[in-house]
Amino acid sequence: MIILKTRREIEIMRKAGRLVARSHELVRKNIKAGITTKELDQLVEDFLRSQNAIPTFKGYNGYPYSICASINEEVVHGMPSSRKLKEGDIVSIDIGATFEGYVGDSAKTFIVGETDEEKKHLVEATRQSFYEGIKFAKKPYRLSDISNAIQSYAESQGLSVVRDYVGHGVGKKMHEAPQIPNFGKPGRGPRLQEGMVLAIEPMINVGIYNVKVLDNGWTVVTVDGKPSAHYEHTVAITDGEPELLTVL
């Protein structure tokens, strides 16, 4: 069942979302060659707790960290570690914050220093695929109109869309109905209504879309070892244009 949020609930989610956005700014200012993803994880956790927020991911189904940090061929759910970032890496940072009982969820892919044109194109096209998708995140469209727009744009850029992981509703829980694939035919699924809050999150690969999970049980990587990028915001459906809740 899709849970519609009241304006008061969306106001709280806006506060949670801003804390996520501020966390991403903290990452942006600190990400550089030589830093470890564990250090970035600690920075975000300390910040969120200082704001009376809870890192949503920590302890979720046993996940031990506050962020996901997925490097290069890692798609999602990369686990922070002592691995030092290198010039040219791309790193997808996914952050969730629970504030006053509601969740904000957002992911961005950062470039460490300078990188090659292929990775730059991937990161920018992944971001743009999200914005192509949310053109349809309003009444009277259906859910799969978002999905189709993301897929169409990504594939027009010579990239592929991950099938095994999808976006989701968000509210008091990080994962609520409905699931939001980043691919599919238009005109399907529920019609969008005011009060829906959706975490829309394209995961886009340079090579084929097939992925696998590493032995740690969490980290998802591309089967062909080629780079992947991730871009996500928490989006409220309104009576007009969609509102991004995970922005400053």
| pLDDT tens per residue across span 15-39 | 999 999 999 999 999 999 999 999 9
Residue 31: predicted pLDDT: 98
Q: So what's the pLDDT on residue 2? A: 98
Query: Model confidence over 72-112: pLDDT tens digits?
Result: 999 999 999 999 999 999 999 999 999 999 999 999 999 99
Fold classified for 7-244 = Creatine Amidinohydrolase (3.90.230)
How many angstroms separate the CA atoms of 118 and 57, rounded? 30
pLDDT in tens, 130-171: 999 999 999 999 999 999 999 999 999 999 999 999 999 999
Helices 7-30, 37-50: axis angle to 10 degrees equals 140
Question: How much is the pLDDT for 24?
Answer: 99
* 0.85 exceeded by pTM: yes
Q: Where are the beta strands (DSSP E) in the chain?
A: 54-55, 67-71, 74-76, 90-99, 102-111, 160-161, 167-169, 176-180, 197-200, 203-205, 211-213, 220-222, 228-230, 233-236, 243-244
Domain range list for the chain:
7-244
